[in-house]
Structure 1
Amino acid sequence: MRHGLILITFLMLMAGCSSEDVSQRKVDTTDELSPETMTLEPTQLITEKEMMESNQDIQLINSKNNSNVETKSLLSSQTVEEGENEIQTLSQEPMEPLVEEKEEKPAEDSIMIGDTKYINLMKEEKFQDWINVAVKYGASLYAIPYSDVFAIVKDEEVLVGMSTGVASATPNHIGILCDLMVDKGESAEKIIEGIKQVAQTGESVQLVGPQELGDDYSIEKQDEWIVVSW
């Protein structure tokens, strides 16, 4: 019996120790788990903070990017405006000629006879014979542009008028008309005599030219002008 009580007491002591060990283990386990649990909450808080900071950074970056985009857009707009202003300025500035302008020709020497314009032919070599006659009398040779009408003019007075197959002069200037007929070959002498005769008498003269040339000449007075035609 005594041995049984001792055994029971020993068992109870063992049970108490075991219970205490278990409790201690629970406490220890709690102590061990508690720090981990404690560390989880700060970890989550840090993560959220970092996320907030990260979001702020992202917003800041986006803001900077937007600012850069706006700045680039503004610069591009300013560049376009400056380019347009430069183009407008260039368009307003007078353009330099790509090719040097030719020297202006001297004003055309011309006169008006009645309502008709005559231009000077004194430098035209193909009319040199008529020019020589005009120079002899201190006059100049003129013509209506793009026509066969010519005139020897002095001091704005027509001394002799000429066209195809006809020449005329006033009685005061028959000397010029006679000089112009010198180039009529063997008929020249007869034509000059006929001009003088008509100027003196007023009567018409008919002359037959050489057969090979087939030119006949008529000299007559018309409205105070001695007219030679052929």
Structure 2
Amino acid sequence: MRSAFQEELDLISEQLVQMSRLSATALQRATASLMGTDLNVAQQVISDDQLIDALRRDLDNRAIDVLARQQPVATDLRQMVTALRMSSDLERTGDLARHVAKLTRLRYPAHALPEALRPLFAEMATTAEAMVLRAGEIIGSKDAGGATELMKADDTMDRLHREVFQTLLEPGQTWPAQVTVDATLLSRYYERYADHAVSVALRVVYLVTGVWHDETLPGDDGRYPGSVPRGDA
């Protein structure tokens, strides 16, 4: 019985890793469609989001079935509940990639972004994609220390997010209202995408340690000072 339960847990973990990879691919392609005004690629990203949604439904159904059949307690229960929350985070990253593609489709054949803003968004996309892929690796290895790495990457994303607004508000620079709105939305999509990757990593910390860290950076020694355990369940 225990062996079968562990196999289910391993499969759920593999599905989470697969979701992270699908999401990274979706964002990479959505960004390519944004930069190149490629309607076909944008449409494919929108259509393919159903694959991530289906994987989340399958994972959630599997987890609920395991909860019902195995009645896990303590650490095992924590693994199942955490997996359900991580699947929600990863499904949301796929939705955000779809939003980028939808905005590209909405503005086609015009560019949604002026050329001056594209380098900033290209860097945001690269950062976000790397973060969700790393989140998948952290899930697979149960590397609680990886959360520190992702939170530092999120600092980079936050800086880029601010730079977008600084550019839009630059004195003497006048942007059309539509450009301002679109750039604001897109910046938010990428920034939130990165936030979900961090959330996944923090859930892995909780899974491994039994302690929830509300986006508090661990100490340099790899330990998590000042946190309050929530119990083993």
Report the TM-score when normalising by structure 1: 0.22
Q: Greater relative contact order: 1 or 2 (C-alpha under 8 angstroms, separation 6 or more)?
A: 2
By percentage of residues, which structure has more helix?
Answer: 2
Larger strand percent: 1
Bigger radius of gyration among the two = 1
